[in-house]
Structure 1
C-alpha cells in the first residue's frame, strides 16, 4: 500500500530536518592543517625547552635544531622579561688574617662560581643555593643610595683599621640628613652584614687554619658579547665583550654564623668547589 500524500510529506520533512541538523564532517584538508599546526607547536615547545636547558650533552646535541630561536626569539623575549640580566655577575670574598705580626690577605674566593656548580651540567636539582645572584642587585643599589661622605666611611681600605659594626652604623648615620637617609643606611647595612657573614663562614671554611680579622667582598659585572659579534671565534667574542665593572667593598669586622650555619656553608663549599 502506497503511503498517502500526507504521510509522504511528513517523511520528506523529517528527512530534510535530519539532514540539516546532522553535523557536517570536517574536510580532510582541515584536519591536515590542524595536525600540522599542532605538530609545529609541539616541535617548537620542545625546541624552546632544549634551548633553555643548562649547558650539557643534550642541549649541545639539540643546538642545530634550536639555532633558529636565536635570530628572532632571543631579541624579542624582552616582551616577557622587560629587564633581563644580560651580563655575568660575580660576587667574590677576601679575608685578612694575622701572621708573624703582619696582616696577610687570602686569595679571592669566587663564591658565585662555587654556587654555579648547582646548575652547571645538572639537569635536575635544587637552585635555592644560588644566592649571590640575588644579592648582587641589592648590594649595588644600596651602595649607590649612599651619599659621597657615607661612601668614604664605608670604603675602609686598610684591614688593620676596620670599624666595629656599631661605629660603622653611627658614622654612616652621622652623614644622614633625614629619616629617609637613615632608612637607606639601614638597608645598606642589612645587605652588607648578610654578605659579610656569608663571606666570613665561606673563607674560614676555605682556610680552616686561619682566624680572620677582617673580610670584604667585591662585585663584578661584565656584559655579554654583543649580538653583532656572535659569529666570531671564541677569542674574538671575548675581545668584543664590554669592559668589566668591579666594585670592591670596604673591609668589615668578621661576622660568624652559628655552628649549624657554618657547617652548612663548609659542606656546601666542599661539595661544589
Structure 2
C-alpha cells in the first residue's frame, strides 16, 4: 500500500504577518503605558507622564490613601448656574455638590462610601487646566454668563490662539473634563431648581489643607485657625449640557436622597 505524502501548509501572506506583528507591538506598548500610569508616583512615572496622557480621560489611578502622598486636604467642587426670569439673567447660589455626595460617607453604613464623582473630577479639572497658556485661559475663563460660548466655538477659539499641535491635544483633554463638569453641573442645578432651565453653568474647585499635626490636640476653633488658607479656582461659564432622561432622573433622585 502506497503512503500518501503530507500536503504542505500554504504560507501565510506577508501582510498578515506584518499586521499581527504591529498589533502585538501596539498591545505590548499599551500594557507598558498602563503599568507606568498605575505605579505610585516616582521618577519613572513622572518621566513617562507625557506618553501616558492619552489615558487621562479613561483611566485614573491615585495613591492618596498611602505614602508617599496620602490625603492632606479637603477638596470641594461647587456648581453655579444662571437662568432667565422676566427677561433677565438670575445667578444661583453656589451648590456644594461634594457635600451632597459625602452624605454617602457620613450617613450610610453600607455601599458607595468612596465612589463619589467629584473626587474623580477634582484632580483632572486642575491638571488639564494648568497646561493652557495665558491667551487660552483668557478665553476659557468667561466671566459673564451672557458671554457664554457654544462648545464648538469654545474649542475653535482655544485652538486658534496656538499653532502647536501638542497644545491642541491639551485643549481636547481639558475639554473632556470641562464638559463632564458642565454636564454634572447642569443636571445637579436643575435637580435643585426643578422649575428652572439653566442657560449657563460653571464650577469652582476649592482645596484647604488639613489641620497640622502639632495642632491636632487643640480645641475646634484653634484647629480651624491653624489650617492653611483655602485655594480656589472659579472656571468660566459654559453652555449647559444634558444627558438622557434616565441620567437626569438619576441625578435628581440622588439630590433628593442626599441633600
Answer whether TM exceeds 0.5 for this pair: yes
For 1:129 and 1:190, how far apart are their aligned partners in 2? 20
Runs of 4+ in 1 over 3 A off after TM superposition: 77-80
Structure 2 partner of 1:160: 146
Unpaired runs of 5+ in structure 2?
A: 1-62
225, 231, 238: which one pairs with 2:217? 231
Distance 2:65 2:200 in 1: 45
Matching of residues 131-170 of structure 1 within 5 Å: 131-170=117-156
CA distance in 1, matches of 2:152, 2:246: 25
1:20 is aligned to none
Q: Cα offset for 1:176?
A: 2.5
Equivalent pair of 2:84/2:199 in contact (CA under 8 Å): yes
2:208 to 215, 222, 226: 222
Partner secondary structure for residue 106 of structure 2: coil
* Aligned equivalent of 1:247, options 221, 233, 240: 233
Aligned mates of 1:264, 1:146 — CA distance in 2: 33
Aligned residue number for residue 96 of structure 1: 82
Out of 145, 155, 168, the position equivalent to 1:182 is 168
Structure 1 residues 185 and 116, CA, compared in 2 at 3 Å: closer, same or farther?
Answer: same
Alpha-carbon shift at residue 79 of structure 1 (Å): 10
Distance 1:186 1:162 in 2: 18
How many aligned positions are there?
Answer: 197
> Any conservation in 1 of the 2:105–2:114 contact (CA below 8 Å)?
no
Segments of structure 1 that go 5 or more residues without pairing to the other structure are 1-76
Separation in structure 2 between the aligned mates of residue 78 and residue 214 of structure 1, nearest angstrom: 33
Q: Tell me the alpha carbon deviations over residues 89-110 of structure 1, each in whole angstroms, 9 at most, x when there is no partner.
A: 0000010011111111111111
RMSD of aligned Cα (Å): 1.7
Structure 2 counterpart of 1:85, from 58, 71, 87: 71
Tell which structure's C-alpha radius of gyration is larger: 1
SS at match of 1:104: strand
After superposition, where does 1:184-203 map in structure 2 within 5 Å?
A: 184-203=170-189
Q: Following TM superposition, by how much is the alpha carbon of 1:178 offset from its aligned partner in structure 2, in angstroms?
A: 1.6
Equivalent position SS for 1:184: helix
